[in-house]
Amino acid sequence: MSYEEKFSLKGKVALVTGASYGIGFAIASGFAKSGATIVFNDIKQELVDKGIAAYKEAGIEAHGYVCDVTKEEAVNELVAKIEKEVGVIDILVNNAGIIKRIPMCDMTADEFRQVIDVDLNAPFIVSKAVIPSMIKKGHGKIINICSMMSELGRETVSAYAAAKGGLKMLTKNIASEYGEFNIQCNGIGPGYIATPQTAPLREKQADGSRHPFDQFIIAKTPAARWGNPEDLVGPAVFLASEASDFVNGHVLYVDGGILAYIGKQPQ
C-alpha cells in the first residue's frame, strides 16, 4: 500500500456525533475530502437540516439523523439504521459535548450529571453500539474528543474536567479491551478552539477590549492564538486512517503547545 493510500479514507463510513457545526463539522468535512462517506447526528431536526445544508454547500452529501447520544435505545436504533441505509461504521468520532461553567459549590448534582451524561456516558453508549460490527468487519477506529481538561483543572469546570478525564481513561480502556480485534481507540485533546462553545470566553468587553480570558489563553498558548476547528482535521484524518493502525490508547493533544508550557516568566 502506498503512503498516500495509508492516509486515504476512501470507501469508509464515518459517524461523527454532534457534527452540524463546530469541531465535528470540520472533522467530518476533512474525512469527506479524504474519501469517507459522512454520517452525523444532532439532537434537534433543525440542527440536522442546517448541518446537511452546510455540508451541501461544501460539496459533501452527508447523511444526517436526529439522535440524542445519551439515550441508549435511540443510539442502538441509529446505528442499526446507518448500517442498513449507509453501511457498517468504520470510523466513529465521539464529538458531541456540552459544558456548564458553574463554580463547583454552586452546581447542583443534576447539572453535574447532565455534563457527565453527554461527555462521558454517551461515548460509552455509542462506542458500545458500533464495536460489535467493527469486530465482525475486522477493523474499526474510534476517536474520542477529549480536552485540555482531560489533564488540567480550572475554576468552574469540575463536571467537564471529570467527564473529559474519564473519557481519556475510557479511550485507553477501549484500546486495551478491543485492540486484539484491530480496533484502535484514540483521543484528540483540542486546546482552546474558537467555536460557539467557547464564544462566551472570547466576548469583547464593553470598552471594546479583549475578554480577560481571551488574553489569558493567548498568553498561555505558545502558538499565541486560539485554534480553529480546521487545526484538528489533519490529526483526525491520521487517527481515522490506516496510517495510525499501530497507534492505540493515545491522546493526541492539538493545543498550540499549552500543555508543554509553564507560562510566561514575570518581566
Longest dimension (CA), the chain: 62
**Binds 101, which of ligand NAP, ligand GCO, none (CB < 5 to 8 A, cut-off by type)?**
ligand GCO
* Catalytic site includes residue 160: yes
Burial of 246 (0-12, 13-18, 19+ CB in 10 A): exposed
* Nearest-CB residue for ligand NAP: 97
Residues 66 to 105 in contact with ligand GCO, rule: CB under 6 A: 99, 101
In eight-state DSSP terms, residue 264 is P
Among 158, 66, 77, 88, which residue's Cα sits nearest to residue 119?
A: 158
198 binds ligand GCO (CB under 6 A): yes
Per-residue x/- mask for ligand NAP, residues 7 to 46, rule CB under 6 A? ----------xx-xxxxx----------------xxxx--
Indicate if the alpha-carbon torsion angle 24, 30, 31, 36 is positive or negative. positive
Three state DSSP letters for 120-135: HHHHHHHHHHHHHHHH
69 binds ligand NAP (CB under 6 A): yes
Residue of 55, 65, 160, 253 marked catalytic: 160
- CB 74, min distance to ligand NAP, A: 9
* Rounded CA separation 259/60 (Å): 35
- CB 56, min distance to ligand NAP, A: 17
192 binds ligand GCO (CB under 6 A): yes
**In the numeric block, which cell numbers belong to residue 112?**
453535574
- CB 56, min distance to ligand GCO, A: 28
Please give the residue ranges that form the binding site for ligand GCO (CB under 6 A): 99, 101, 147-149, 154, 157, 160, 190-192, 197-198, 201
